[in-house]
Structure 1
Amino acid sequence: MTKKTRSEMEDEFSKAMIRFEKDYFGRGSVEARTYILHDMILVRLRGILTPAEQTLAESREGMLMVKDTRRQLFETARPHLVEMVRQITGARMISLHSDMSTSSGERIVVLIVDTNLSNPG
């Protein structure tokens, strides 16, 4: 089996994250960019909020509700992300960190793996 380059893994991971969001949340982000730095996979997702969530997030209470609901949903998806990391990179995911901004409609995801992916092969 041929080892993937870092840029191939980044591209594949971006596409997989959009597909995952669409399948799991019912709506995918508008754009995904993935950066691999040593043992970290950093994903920036843009356009993640539905129009209803954008409207709800206009108030502080609504913003907190959207963030909390999205956080809980994302945490339940952890097994799917573990498998995605394994399939694309061959690495084992050690930890997952995520935050989102309701004002920009972006989510940042940081996945820590057990291997240095910057220099595959």
Structure 2
Amino acid sequence: MKSKGLIESEISKALTQWEKDYLGRGSVSVKTDILRDMIIVNLKGILSPAELTICGTKEGMISIKRTRSDLVESGIEELKEIIRQITGEETKSFYTDISTVTGERVMVFKLGTNYEEMIVKK
């Protein structure tokens, strides 16, 4: 059985690769945490310098948030499959948001079971 840290690391690496393959560029750093029935992923440095410049106006910020959200949502089935392959668990719901100030994205995969408890017990 894999350790919690190893699973978190595998998820971080897989999501970084997904970003590169699907979105054309990856984040600067990724940190994944498993907490109860959630997999929380913090991706830093996902906005390009041009996108950060556009975020200087309210209209630009809204545009970037909408576009980035649409891009991630269009690949949600692949993201859920990555989580399933690594954990063996199905994603029941998915949440994401991006900070146009820090250039960070947070993803939360909500599972149907207390996955943290499962992997710590084994």
**Match of residue 24 from structure 1:** 22
Q: Does 1:52 align with 2:72?
A: no
Question: Is the Cα–Cα contact under 8 Å of residues 6 and 117 in structure 1 kept in the other structure?
Answer: no
1:38 is matched by which residue type in structure 2? R
Matched position secondary structure for 1:118: helix
Query: How do 1:27-106 and structure 2 match up within 5 A?
Result: 27-106=25-104
Question: Is the Cα–Cα contact under 8 Å of residues 96 and 111 in structure 1 kept in the other structure?
Answer: yes
Percent identical pairs in the alignment equals: 46
Runs of 4+, deviation exceeding 6 Å: none
Distance 1:89 1:8 in 2: 11
Q: How many residues align?
A: 119
* Deviations 1:29-84, CA, capped at 9 Å, x for gaps: 00000000111000000000012111111111111100000011111111001110
Gapped runs of 5+ residues in structure 2? none
Gapped runs of 5+ residues in structure 1? none
**TM-score scaled by length of structure 1:** 0.94
Distance 2:112 2:15 in 1: 20
1:46 is matched by which residue type in structure 2? K
1:56 is matched by which residue type in structure 2? I
Matched position secondary structure for 1:24: helix
2:108 to 94, 107, 110: 110
